[in-house]
Amino acid sequence: MSATYHEKRLLRDMQSLPSSCMQGALAIGNFDGVHCGHAQLIERLVQAARKVAGPAVVLTFDPAPLALLRPDIMPPKLTTFERRTELLRRLGVDWVIAYPTQRSTLEWSAEEFFQKIVVECLKAKAIVEGENFFFGKDRQGNIETLQKLVALNQMTLDVVAMTQAESQVVSSSRVRELLQRGDVATANRCLTAPYSIVGRVGVGAQRGRDLGFPTANLVDVETLIPGSGVYVAMAEVGGRFYPAAVHIGPNPTYGESHLKVEAHLIGFQGDIYGNSVSIEFQDRIRDVRRFANVEELREQLQRDIAQAAQLAKV
């Protein structure tokens, strides 16, 4: 588990791109979650970059085009751009460009986008894309369009077939569905790294402390929070890692109905209010339920923490 990333390799300004990110192999897409399908595509991207003796470059979008076009149906993110960069760098990508999406850009035709970004800005020599790639206004450009544009500009094109895991196509949508169901174990098998969230420790009701099991109450989480349940996880705070039992959901024993993310860091002592904590999920151990009394809740928490301590993998 790692909370580090390569900020200098995450570019956000298209006006001052370094020459070292040009004349290489390029892949365009959201790459949210960086799943196994993305990994297969990146492997081919790195190979293409070697053939043209240039960098392996990923171009993604900030915000995602759907956030501007249809914010009402925009799904929650699986990764921040910093986390996405970290995961893509692990796979061998040299540069990640978070293109600053604007409404005017989304009006470009496929041909305009290709000319302005691929040819003029990045001077790419090779393109690697998935078979379901679309680009340009209203997604008018597809793989056939891309093949024609690549041929006109003396580039190479490698089209990568979609990846399957457990008899289903791996996609960011599939990963979201699994996480929303609380099936983090299956979601992790689709991902290149265990699913994680980052939040700031806020002040909660402090009932965990009264019960003998203090928890970090995570707020300001930018990415998708898995479905309600109690999870085995690893938590990172201040560069140190701890097994954790994480409760996601309401606390019906106390008559609460609002969702909370509460993590008990096993073996941790100290005050971390206001600190950033990263939670890396490994498995789900039970549903959220109401207990008859506080003593019954305390006994269940003891079992949860013992199970998390036993199952958590560093």
- Tell me the C-alpha distance between 44 and 140, whole Å: 25
CA–CA separation, 214 and 269 (whole Å): 9
d(CA 156, CA 198): 39
pLDDT in tens, 114-165: 999 999 999 999 999 999 999 999 999 999 999 999 999 999 999 999 887 7
Question: What's the average model confidence in pLDDT over 201-225?
Answer: 83
Q: What is the pTM of this model?
A: 0.91
The torsion defined by the Cα of 233, 212, 290 and 308, in degrees rounded to 10, comes to 20
Domain with CATH 2.40.30.30 in the chain: 194-311
Judged by phi (left if over 0) then psi (alpha if -120 to 50, else beta), residue 64 lies in beta
- Cα 126 from Cα 48, distance rounded (Å): 7
Domain with CATH 3.40.50.620 in the chain: 7-169
User: What pLDDT sits at residue 213?
Assistant: 81
Residue 118: name the closest of 68, 90, 166, 156 by CA: 156
CATH class given for the domain over 194-311: mainly beta
Reported confidence tier of residue 3, pLDDT bands at 50, 70, 90: very low
CATH superfamily for 7-169 is HUPs (3.40.50.620)
